[in-house]
Structure 1
Amino acid sequence: MLQLQLIKGRFSKTEAFDLVSQMVNIKIKYHEDKIRDAEKEEDIKMRENRIKELQRELHEFKSRILSNEQAVNIESGIVIA
């Protein structure tokens, strides 16, 4: 098993939103690039749905994080098994 720690720290609400939104936007761009190369309609639909889900989750995150008065702790990693 391989583990990669991407983020670990305490961030202001603005820093937290900026960091998470940049990560989500990279994932959205990944799906957009895959859509351009996709040949199967089902692959395109799946990726379009995932993009919408990521956008919805980011919007919800923004609403919650920016209403928070305190700094937040963020931990994020990848586990490859």
Structure 2
Amino acid sequence: MNPLQLIQGSFEKEDALDLITELVQVKIRYHENKIGRSENEEDIERREGRIRQLQMDLAKLREEFNQQSNRIAIQSNIEIA
């Protein structure tokens, strides 16, 4: 199956951070919705851990962006295996 190309290009630093933040927020909302419908404690804990990891990764990325030039190149693909 061919990969789905989500993002490819060069963006102003603020636009790049906005775009990535929105993508991460969608993933966090996905896990929050699954938590709201789950009764399995193990599944809930796993999803809560993933949310925390996504939040930490985004915070680190924000710090790294402060060190970058004004334009950021982003390439994002989804590959189905």
Q: TM-score, normalization: structure 2? A: 0.95
1:80 aligns to what SS in structure 2?
A: coil
The answer to whether the Cα contact below 8 Å between 1:14 and 1:66 also exists between their aligned partners in 2 is no
The corresponding residue for 2:80 is 80
Work out the percentage of aligned pairs sharing the same amino acid. 44
1:3 deviates by 1.2
Q: Map of 1:21-36 to 2, 5 A cutoff? A: 21-36=21-36
1:50 deviates by 0.1
Q: TM-score, normalization: structure 1? A: 0.95
Structure 2 unaligned regions, length at least 5? none
**Alpha-carbon separation, structure 2, partners of 1:39 and 1:4:** 33
The corresponding residue for 1:56 is 56
The amino acid across from 1:52 in the alignment is R
* Superposition CA RMSD, Å: 0.9
The corresponding residue for 1:20 is 20
